[in-house]
Structure 1
């Protein structure tokens, strides 16, 4: 069903891949793209579990908006191994205004489709989603 505000539908594959990331840890990250012509959010790229943060950031285009989820592993002060699922709204300053508006107006509805997101980040440049930012948001 399309969102009334932006008219964007969410492809079933988005939800399926997210469930696999969440439940089975099949992926380290997923990058989602809005296909303007089809008016829907689709999976653009998935990262294998062995891939890391650098692979994730390299898969985000420098001048186009994207949504992404990243399964971030960390160790607590009590030395417990944990993970958090981050939702990243990537909207670089160099992206087209129209694109930024479409991504902004579709974000909340898309996020609701992905049940299990624990932390949300808005990023307009790579420093806003550095590993230090991820770590600071896990506590």
Structure 2
């Protein structure tokens, strides 16, 4: 079903891969891209479980918008291993205005498709999705 605000549909693969990340931990991260010609959100890249946060950050294009999901593992102050699933709306200042508008108007509907998001981040430059920011939001 297309998003009323922007007319974007969500490809089934987006939800299926997210379920794999959430339930089976098959992936460390997923990068999603809106294909404007096809008017739908598609999976652009899947991060292997062994990949790091730096690998993920390197996949975010410098001048294009993306949605991303990252499964962040960390230790609590009590030494208990935990994990949080982050949804990141990446909209760099250098992206085209039209692209930023399409991503912004499609975000809430797309995010609702991914059941299990725990923390949301909106980022316009790499410092806003730095590992220190992720760590501070995870606790």
| Unaligned runs of at least 5 residues, structure 2 | none
- 1:1-139 to structure 2, matched below 5 A, reads 1-139=1-139
Deviations 1:104-124 (A, max 9, x none): 000000000000000000000
CA distance in 1, matches of 2:138, 2:62: 26
CA distance in 2, matches of 1:54, 1:138: 17
TM-score by length of 2: 0.99
CA RMSD of aligned residues (A): 0.4
Report the CA distance between 1:138 and its aligned residue.
Answer: 1.3
Report the CA distance between 1:13 and its aligned residue.
Answer: 0.1
Report the CA distance between 1:79 and its aligned residue.
Answer: 0.2
CA distance in 2, matches of 1:138, 1:33: 25
CA distance in 2, matches of 1:14, 1:3: 15
Which structure 1 residue ranges, 4+ long, deviate > 4 Å from structure 2? Answer: none
| Unaligned runs of at least 5 residues, structure 1 | none
Report the CA distance between 1:63 and its aligned residue.
Answer: 0.2
CA distance in 1, matches of 2:4, 2:118: 26
CA distance in 1, matches of 2:3, 2:125: 27
TM-score by length of 1: 0.99
Aligned residues: 139
Report the CA distance between 1:46 and its aligned residue.
Answer: 0.3
